[in-house]
């Protein structure tokens, strides 16, 4: 359902190509690159009796098409995805390099917040993704200044990638859709006029570049119901992404808060055709450790082992903590990338729970996702 690229510890040009983001080192001459992926998934869900009785299910996950490159002085990047229940634009932007270090992007582009490009190693991301705080894409303008050791990004987003309040649940990024689940169709709300900024500093020497990047991120915006102001929101994070030989360490602390005019202490998020509740404010902690082992086993060139951990706590509605631990392995074999994740979680969306649940029990899910990238 979710992840679509390799980790930061891989060569940056390969990361950029698979993520659909043209590298800053891309040749300046005109060129267009077409690509895509097809992915399938097996899941065994301990919280779904029917799924367990069948011994799990194999499903078609995603078919996607990518377009990246340059025309004249413009940089182009877009990705369309087909799921068996929806079609979405993952991202679509036009960019321009003012200098070798300064780029502008306009369109549906990634929100500069937290560890990038992902704050996780697994196919399921971290709990932050389900809060709209990881791998989020919105519609607006972004400036990126990349001059080692500094990486500075600032952006203004007019609204989410679907157009704001009432634009539906068929989307890749998780966004605010209503104050309650019952309001999604009749009284929806959406994000508008968001400012976001991220400052990161790299130091040390690793196998594929700087060993450690530390940074801070902040964003804030308003909520609108289509006719009037409905509230505001803010989020702040401090983060570390370190490459130490074959090891990769990611740490992040995030605080977010939605100040709703109604005074409600929870609201509804939505994506992938589904919606669920989250507390209006909370603190999240993520700690992820990955290890990349190069091998030469027939077509298999590398194994990536990881342990990703998320905790969402101090919830405004007083509900129990959300906890998720993912122990996994990804396999690189030419154009094929496979993730095998064992997920253990409580009060976690898509793992038998919800962010506003009060369960003290852990649910388990085994997830195998295999993708062919072309």
d(CA 67, CA 81): 12
User: 157 Cβ partners below 8 Å, 6+ apart?
Assistant: 111, 138, 139, 140, 191, 193, 194, 196, 221
What is the tens place of the pLDDT at every residue in 302-313?
999 999 999 999
Mean pLDDT of 104-121: 98
Provide the whole-model pTM.
0.91
pLDDT at 205: 74
Residue-wise over 30-43: b if at least 16 C-beta within 10 A, else e?
Answer: eeeeebbbebebbb
For residue 274, give the nearest of 356, 345, 172, 179 by alpha carbon. 172
Tens of pLDDT, residues 210-222? 689 999 999 999 9
Confidence of residue 43 (pLDDT cuts 50, 70, 90): very high
pLDDT value for 209: 60
SS3 352: coil
With 60 as the cut, is the pLDDT of residue 118 above it?
A: yes
Q: Which CATH number fits domain 12-373: 2.40.160.10, 3.40.605.10, 3.40.50.880, 3.40.309.10?
A: 2.40.160.10
Q: Residue 197: which pLDDT band, with cuts at 50, 70 and 90?
A: very high
- SS3 string, 88-152, reads EEEEEEEEEECCCCEEEEEEEEECCCCCCCCCCCCCCCCHHHHHCCCCCEEEEEEEEEEECCEEE
* Average pLDDT of every residue of the chain: 92
Mean pLDDT of the region 85-111: 97
Asked if 365 and 1 touch (Cβ cutoff 8 Å), the reply is: no
pLDDT for 188: 96
The dihedral of CA 155, 158, 160, 163: what is its sign?
A: negative
List the alpha helices (DSSP H) in the chain: 12-19, 49-53
Taking alpha carbons only, the member of 175, 219, 216, 222 closest to residue 196 is 219
Query: CA neighbours within 13 Å on the CB side: how many for 339?
Result: 30
Band of residue 208 on the pLDDT scale cut at 50, 70, 90: low
Let me know: does 240 contact 250? Beta carbons within 8 Å. yes
H-run or E-run covering 308: strand 300-313
Report which of residues 105 and 30 the model is more confident about. Answer: 105
Tokens in use for 45? 């869900």
List the structure tokens of 26. Answer: 């891309």
The residue behind tokens 């979405």 is 88
Q: Is the pLDDT of residue 9 over 70?
A: no
**Rounded average pLDDT over 288-317:** 97
pLDDT above 50: residue 224: yes
Average pLDDT over residues 151-164: 97
In the structure, what pLDDT confidence band is assigned to residue 272 with cuts at 50, 70 and 90?
very high
Q: Which residue has the higher pLDDT, 206 or 56?
A: 56
């Amino acid at each position: 359902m979710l992840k679509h690229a390799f980790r930061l510890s891989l060569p940056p040009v390969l990361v950029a190509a698979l993520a659909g983001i043209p590298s800053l080192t891309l040749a300046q001459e005109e060129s267009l690159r077409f690509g895509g992926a097809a992915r399938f998934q097996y899941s065994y869900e301990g919280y779904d009796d029917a799924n367990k009785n069948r011994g799990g299910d194999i499903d078609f996950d995603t078919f996607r098409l990518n377009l990246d490159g340059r025309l004249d002085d413009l940089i182009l990047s877009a990705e369309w995805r087909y799921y068996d229940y929806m079609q979405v634009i993952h991202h679509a932007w036009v960019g321009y390099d003012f200098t070798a270090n300064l780029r502008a992007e306009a369109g549906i582009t990634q929100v500069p917040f937290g560890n990038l490009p992902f704050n996780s190693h697994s196919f399921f991301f971290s709990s932050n993704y389900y809060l709209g705080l990881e791998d989020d894409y919105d519609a607006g303008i972004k400036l990126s200044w990349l001059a080692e050791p500094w990486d500075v990004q600032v952006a203004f987003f007019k609204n989410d990638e679907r157009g704001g309040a009432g634009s539906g649940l068929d989307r890749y990024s998780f966004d605010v859709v209503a104050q309650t689940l019952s309001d999604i169709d009749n009284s929806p709300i959406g994000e508008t006029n968001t400012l976001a900024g991220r400052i990161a500093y790299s130091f040390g020497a690793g196998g594929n570049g700087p060993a450690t990047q530390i940074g801070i991120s902040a964003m804030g915006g308003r909520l609108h119901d289509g006719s009037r102001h409905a509230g505001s929101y803010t989020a702040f994070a401090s983060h570390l992404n370190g490459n130490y030989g074959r090891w990769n360490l990611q740490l992040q602390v995030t605080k977010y808060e939605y100040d709703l005019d109604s005074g409600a202490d929870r609201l509804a998020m939505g994506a992938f055709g589904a919606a669920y509740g989250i507390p209006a404010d909370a603190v999240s902690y993520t700690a992820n450790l990955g290890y990349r082992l190069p091998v030469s086993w027939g077509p298999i060139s590398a194994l990536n082992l990881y342990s990703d951990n998320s905790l969402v706590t101090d919830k405004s509605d007083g509900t129990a903590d959300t906890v998720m631990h993912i122990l996994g392995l990804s396999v690189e074999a030419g154009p094929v990338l496979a993730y095998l994740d064992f997920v253990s979680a409580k009060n976690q969306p898509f793992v038998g729970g919800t962010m506003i649940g009060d369960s003290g029990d852990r649910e388990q899910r085994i997830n195998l996702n295999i993708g062919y990238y072309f």
